[in-house]
Amino acid sequence: HGLLLLTNDGKLAHALLSPKRHVDKTYLAHVKGIMTQEDVETFAKGIPLKDFTCQPARLELVSIDPEKNQSQIRVTIAEGKFHQVKRMVAYCGKEIVDLQRLTMGTLVLDENLERGEWRRLTKEELEALRASIAQFSLYSKKVGRISLPFMFFSCLLCEKSY
């Protein structure tokens, strides 16, 4: 759950989601187990998984509850491969029990949205998003006009106009 961008603009989606594009995505995770400063350093070095080695990532310890053997962490990654955050935490010997995406590039989850609610992106959000991905040759302003997107199920929806 969390921030989800829904769009019919494939080039925009690719520019944001492709692991090769290195768009930062930030997650809030509830973890079974105690995350440590050693884990922070492991994330910063990059984690070798079975099928690839993760790029260095930022791990922030938000809260630790030793009595319940739980941690709350904030993780920022630039790749976004299949179950990457869960796999990185598992590498450290812990388990994610809840994961919420907070940001994707310049987009930030609207704190006023309840789970299941949605809204369109504002013009300012869309312009910032366009500017942030303009550096990628796959997406340019000349591709087409994008109408104001939605935020839905605590997510964003972007429609490409034809």
Which H helix or E strand runs over 31? Answer: strand 25-32
Distance CA 15, CA 132 (A): 10
Distance CA 48, CA 34 (A): 21
CA angle 32, 4, 35 (to 5 degrees): 20
CA separation, residue 59 to residues 30, 93, 97, 141 (Å): 13, 15, 17, 34
Per-residue pLDDT tens digits of the chain, which is 162 residues long: 899 888 777 777 788 877 777 889 999 999 999 999 999 999 999 999 999 999 999 999 999 999 999 999 999 999 888 899 999 999 999 999 999 999 998 899 998 888 888 888 888 888 888 788 775 544 444 444 444 444 433 444 444 443
Neighbours of 38 (CB within 10 A): 9
The pTM for the full model equals 0.82
